[in-house]
Amino acid sequence: MATFAYSALDRQKAKVSGVLDSGDRRSALAALRAQGLTPLSVTEQKGKPGKAAQSASFWTLTRGKATRMKPAEVLLFTSELADLIEAGMTLGAALNSLANQGAPADGICAVSADLRDRIMRGEAFSDAVNAHPKTFPPLYGNMLRAGEASGAMVEVLHRLAEHYERNQSMKSKIVSALTYPCVVLFIGLCAVIFAMVKIVPQFSDLFKSMGQELPFATRLLVGMSEGFIKYGLFYALGTAAAVALFLRWIRGGGRLAWDRFKLRMPLVRGLIASGAYASLAYTLQTLLANGVNVLNALRISEETCGNAVLGAELRKARERVTDGTSISGPLAQSGVFPRMMTDMMALGEQTGNLPAALGHIGKRYEAELDRNIKVFTTALEPLLILLVAVVVGFVAVAILSAVFSATSAMSH
């Protein structure tokens, strides 16, 4: 691979220069034209490029590689790419069209431009997307590889778009279910902090000026308020340190224990489990329906399932089976997956249509996710009301008991 220094005109007729790597000068010229540039000069560099050329090369690489796409952008990119190819455009032309739709710093434009350049240099599309692991998971590259082998690239892209759309829908349902309690708890926490810092100290000064012995509840409330005012910063730092240590523990060796706890946590386990089972079923269905072999499908599902407990069982199942044999048996023996799921997979294997069975499993657990969301929100509302009532009731009792105590002392 040679390095070429170029000078060219962009679409606004402004002169730009830089360096690019290409197999020969003709490929370098084609790559520049694909980027919408009009080449003025293209010269092969001998030896190590200079500092200015290195800076330009870094800008080019940053524009193409450092920017990543969010999952919603990957869905849009996949859908539009499938539509453009289906309309008769070549893969390179379709990627060039996507690369020129917005600003170069946009995720879709930057990644599309890099993919286009890699295609122009002769790389396979599946290999090109694997160069962006932060944007495209292993599932994406493997399905594209299967599509390249079968000549069904458009169908594969449409199925990938459907897969991303389903995953986005399930994630949005879970996020929307958790948003309400998080907002309520945050507002409640802010209200408690405000009361402890501003309101309770005023009553505390008033009660102390009366010179009367305060009831226990009032003394407890005043002590909590004074402690919060004096040591609130340390409480905040301690909480932040605890959260940081917890996240570090999860990233270290605690991920398996934390994911197992989530699958057993009351009220939340229904959301976590049904969402994980539906996502896993849809992922396996998408891979197997596009010709990916069983072992690779299990490996990719293990890497993308998002739950360490399920991933560990998928890894064990992959070790116990050979390519093309039953996978329902090892999954049933794990005791982690529900009986209904493994029975339907076994039925699909017996009929020779496992992808269809996995599709039914995904729909079944997606419907169960909807039911669990309704149960979660229905059960959480009274629990939040009870929590707020306990906090407000404690503050009210602490203040009113002091008032009544002072009133009775004055009457005597």
How high is the pLDDT of residue 237? 93
pLDDT at 323 over 60: no
Which of 300, 301, 294 is closest to 323 using CA atoms? 294
Integer CA distances (angstroms), 312 to 43, 187, 263, 282, 332, in order = 53, 39, 14, 18, 14
Neighbouring-strand partners of residue 351: none
pLDDT digits (tens, 9 = 90+) for 245-293: 999 998 888 888 998 898 888 878 888 888 889 888 888 888 888 777 8
- Asked if residues 373 and 177 have their Cβ atoms less than 8 Å apart, the reply is yes
Question: Do the domains at 71-164 and 177-412 have one common CATH topology?
Answer: yes
pLDDT digits (tens, 9 = 90+) for 88-112: 888 888 888 888 876 555 778 888 8
How high is the pLDDT of residue 198? 84
Q: Which residue has the higher pLDDT, 140 or 55?
A: 140
Q: Which residue has the higher pLDDT, 403 or 160?
A: 160
Per-position b or e across 361-398, b if 16+ CB within 10 A of its CB = bbebbbebbeebbeebeeebeeeeeeebeeeeeebeeb
49 — pLDDT class (breaks 50, 70, 90):
very low
Q: Which residue has the higher pLDDT, 321 or 240?
A: 240
Q: In the chain, what percentage of residues exceed pLDDT 90?
A: 7
139 — pLDDT class (breaks 50, 70, 90):
confident
pLDDT at 51 over 70: no
Element spanning 360, H or E: helix 354-411
How high is the pLDDT of residue 60? 42
Average pLDDT over residues 345-363: 90
pLDDT at 58 over 50: no
pLDDT at 238 over 90: yes
d(Cα 98, Cα 314) in Å, to the nearest integer? 37
Residues near 287 by beta carbon (within 8 Å), at least 6 away in sequence: 139, 142, 143, 296, 297, 300, 301
Mean pLDDT value across the chain: 80
How high is the pLDDT of residue 1? 65
How high is the pLDDT of residue 242? 95
Which of 303, 299, 277 is closest to 288 using CA atoms? 299
361 — pLDDT class (breaks 50, 70, 90):
very high
How high is the pLDDT of residue 179? 84
Q: What CATH class has 2-64?
A: alpha beta
Q: What CATH class has 177-412?
A: mainly alpha
d(Cα 296, Cα 281) in Å, to the nearest integer? 15
- Asked if residues 19 and 53 have their Cβ atoms less than 8 Å apart, the reply is yes
Q: Where are the alpha helices (DSSP H) in 250-324?
A: 255-264, 269-289, 294-304, 308-320
Average pLDDT over residues 209-220: 78
- Asked if residues 331 and 337 have their Cβ atoms less than 8 Å apart, the reply is yes
**Report for 17-21, 118-122, 362-366: range of highest mean pLDDT:** 362-366
How high is the pLDDT of residue 324? 54
How high is the pLDDT of residue 241? 95
How high is the pLDDT of residue 53? 39
Per-residue DSSP letters for 84-114?
HHHTT--HHHHHHHHHTSS-TTSHHHHHHHH
Average pLDDT over residues 386-406: 82
Per-residue DSSP letters for 8-35?
EE-TTS-EEEEEEEESSHHHHHHHHHHT
d(Cα 403, Cα 400) in Å, to the nearest integer? 5
pLDDT at 360 over 90: yes
Q: Which residue has the higher pLDDT, 65 or 289?
A: 289
Which of 154, 2, 138, 160 is closest to 74 using CA atoms? 160
Say how far residue 397 (Cα) sits from the centre of its chain.
45
How high is the pLDDT of residue 240? 93
Lowest mean pLDDT among 55-59, 86-90, 190-194: 55-59
Q: Which residue has the higher pLDDT, 53 or 292?
A: 292
Q: What CATH class has 71-164?
A: mainly alpha
357 — pLDDT class (breaks 50, 70, 90):
very high
- Asked if residues 193 and 181 have their Cβ atoms less than 8 Å apart, the reply is no
Q: Which residue has the higher pLDDT, 13 or 318?
A: 318
How high is the pLDDT of residue 88? 84
For strands 38-44 and 2-9, give the pairing: antiparallel
Average pLDDT over residues 115-124: 85
pLDDT at 57 over 50: no
Q: Which residue has the higher pLDDT, 189 or 47?
A: 189
Lowest mean pLDDT among 9-18, 176-185, 198-207: 9-18
What are the domain boundaries of the chain?
Answer: 2-64, 71-164, 177-412
